[in-house]
Structure formats: structure tokens, C-alpha cells
């Protein structure tokens, strides 16, 4: 059903974690994790976007801290996890394994899984792989890493809505002779030995997503793409996953495996004018999963920070307090 942004639910006040650390998940990688809220509360795990985006203090605020034990972590190569921006041994199934390792480390039986954008991809992949560990799903900006979704945003679709940013920022790092496959061209540079070119491409790739993530262009959001360390991790890891088709063995792996999780409560929040992850994907998921609750926010794009989307996510997690 369509939802207008009226009498909007606000996020909870900022809180600090009461426990944090690094968990070694492979010979190469250690992931940073933290827990906040109620130590005896209902566990929820927050899965950030990108991949490569990392987490922030704002990510704790969708959850009632008196009710929830809030687990937040940075995925391999992102945020405070080490080594930074590392692509080796970094794939969807490694991340799924990391979520299980963290659940075991924190001695959690079952948890609610919360994720948006790439976080929704990972949430669905994890739930379909470990359905008995999941109590419910709260998803935003559905992305199933299908070829059509990648082509739309990185090759020839979204440019029609943001031609200025596409022509002035996203295209220039790539010679015209290589523009028939922009993801592959970016990947060569993001993984190449020329560090100056790598940084230029990382910033251009990151700016494209940051500039298109909200209904109204947000200069503060675009500034993120100018942070060297963040941009390199974000662009390298995203592009690595996307040129490898998410490491899925077929284009619609998530939809094919939905039968494993249809018994779980699920709320989907989707911006009507989401350019990064268009509403078609949320609709396709809802058609295959009629039991899921879909909210299309009428005046929002992609970002979870847009008021209407934030409100619906907080409302969903308030509802899940009674699970």
C-alpha cells in the first residue's frame, strides 16, 4: 500500500554501545562488532549496505533500546573491520558465515534481521541459508543483485534521471572505448596498481550512489564520497561483488529460495522514487511472498535517512517488540 509522509515516527535518541570488539572470522579478516540497548533484550542484527558501506552511530536508532539487544557490525573490509578494503576471501557466502559466527560468539539463539539495500540482499541470503536462526525480517530498498538491477543503475537506466551527475562525474574516469561495460572498466581501475587513478574512480563511483540516494539531492550525503578511506572501501567492495554477480549461482537465487523463509514475519519498506534500487524489485519480492508486509513510501528515494522511510522502519521494529 502507498504511504504518505504524515505524522512521522522519529528514530530513538542516540545511544552508545556497552560492548564491542573484533571477531577473527578467517585467516585474513576480523570484523568489528558492537552491542547496545538492553543486554537482556530481544536480539536484532543490523546489516549495512554497500557492500562496503560500514556502519555509523545512527544505525542503532531504529530500535527501542529498552526492548532490543542491538547488534551492529562492519562487514569484511568495511568500516572498522580489518584489513581495510580487502577483496580477498570477501564474498556473500563468507559474510553469511560471519553472521552465524557472530551469533554464536554472542550466544544468541535467534534474532531479528534488519537490512537495507545490499543489507536486504545479505539479510535474505542469510535467512534462506539459516532460517532457524531468524525470528523475523525488516527490509528496506530491496536489492536482489539481479543483472537487470545492476544494468539499470550502472550502465544505461538511472542516467536518464540524473544525466548531469552521470555525464559530469560518473562517466569521465572511463574512456569512451570502454563504456560498453562500465562496471568492468571501473573494476580494472579500482583493483589496479595506479593509486591515483584508483582514488579518482573510487570517488566518482561513490558520488554516483551518494548523489542519487535521496529524493532531493543532499550535499552532505555527497560529501561522504570525498572521504578517501570510505570511498575506496565502498567502491572497491561494491564493484567486486557486482562484477562477480553477488557470487550467486543464478540470477534469481533469492527468489528461487524464498520457500525456506515464507513462514517468517517480514516487513518491507520501499521508497516510491528509489533510483538506486527501484521499486520493481520490492514488488517482485512481494508477488512471490504475499505474506510479507510491503510499505511503499510515496515521497522517498533510496536512503533509510529519509523521514518517511525512517518512520516506517521504526514502526516496523516497534511492532516486532511483541514477537
**Angstrom distance (rounded) from CA 308 to CA 305:** 9
Three-class DSSP category at 32: strand
Q: Is 56 a catalytic residue?
A: no
**Angstrom distance (rounded) from CA 283 to CA 292:** 11
CA-wise closest residue to 56 among 74, 43, 30, 44: 74
- Residue 23: burial class (beta carbons within 10 Å; 0-12, 13-18, 19+): middle
Catalytic residue among 130, 281, 302, 303: 302
**Angstrom distance (rounded) from CA 78 to CA 191:** 16
Three-class DSSP category at 69: strand
Per DSSP, what are the bridge partners of residue 69?
37, 43
Q: Is 295 a catalytic residue?
A: no
Residue in this structure with the C-alpha cell 521508497, named with its chain if needed: 271
**Angstrom distance (rounded) from CA 200 to CA 188:** 13
Catalytic residue among 117, 125, 206, 281: 117
Please measure the distance between the N-terminal and C-terminal CA atoms of the chain and give it in whole angstroms: 23
Catalytic residue among 159, 274, 281, 303: 274
Three-class DSSP category at 140: strand
Q: Is 117 a catalytic residue?
A: yes
> What are the C-alpha distances in Å from 127 to residues 136, 177, 182, 292?
9, 42, 32, 14
List residues with catalytic annotation: 117, 274, 302
Amino acid at each position: 500500500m502507498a504511504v504518505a509522509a504524515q505524522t512521522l515516527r522519529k528514530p530513538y535518541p542516540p545511544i552508545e554501545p556497552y560492548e564491542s570488539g573484533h571477531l577473527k572470522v578467517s585467516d585474513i579478516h576480523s570484523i568489528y562488532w558492537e552491542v547496545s540497548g538492553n543486554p537482556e533484550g530481544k536480539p536484532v542484527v543490523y546489516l549495512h549496505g554497500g557492500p562496503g558501506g560500514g556502519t555509523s552511530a545512527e544505525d542503532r536508532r531504529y530500535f527501542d533500546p529498552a526492548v532490543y539487544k542491538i547488534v551492529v557490525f562492519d562487514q569484511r573490509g568495511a568500516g572498522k573491520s580489518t584489513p581495510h578494503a580487502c577483496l580477498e576471501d570477501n564474498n556473500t557466502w563468507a559474510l553469511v558465515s560471519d553472521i552465524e559466527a557472530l551469533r554464536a560468539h554472542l550466544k544468541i539463539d535467534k534474532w531479528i534481521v534488519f537490512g537495507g539495500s545490499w543489507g536486504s540482499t545479505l539479510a535474505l541470503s542469510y535467512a534462506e541459508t539459516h532460517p532457524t536462526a531468524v525470528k523475523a525480517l525488516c527490509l528496506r530498498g530491496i536489492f536482489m543483485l539481479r543483472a537487470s538491477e545492476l544494468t539499470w543503475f550502472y550502465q544505461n537506466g538511472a542516467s536518464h534521471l540524473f544525466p548531469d551527475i552521470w555525464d559530469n562525474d560518473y562517466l569521465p574516469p572511463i574512456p569512451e572505448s570502454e563504456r560498453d561495460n562500465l562496471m568492468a572498466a571501473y573494476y580494472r581501475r579500482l583493483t589496479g596498481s595506479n593509486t591515483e587513478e584508483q582514488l579518482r574512480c573510487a570517488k566518482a563511483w561513490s558520488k554516483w550512489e551518494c548523489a542519487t540516494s535521496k529524493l532531493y539531492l543532499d550535499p552532505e550525503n555527497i560529501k561522504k564520497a570525498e572521504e578517501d578511506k570510505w570511498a575506496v572501501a565502498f567502491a572497491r567492495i561494491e564493484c567486486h561483488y557486482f562484477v562477480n554477480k553477488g557470487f550467486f549461482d543464478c540470477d534469481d537465487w533469492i527468489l528461487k529460495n524464498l520457500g525456506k523463509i515464507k513462514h517468517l514475519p517480514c516487513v518491507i519498506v520501499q521508497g516510491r522514487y528509489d533510483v538506486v534500487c527501484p521499486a520493481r524489485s520490492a514488488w517482485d519480492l512481494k508477488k512471490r511472498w504475499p505474506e510479507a508486509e510491503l510499505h511503499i513510501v510515496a515521497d522517498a528515494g533510496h536512503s533509510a535517512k529519509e523521514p518517511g522511510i525512517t518512520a516506517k522502519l521504526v514502526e516496523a521494529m516497534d511492532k516486532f517488540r511483541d514477537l
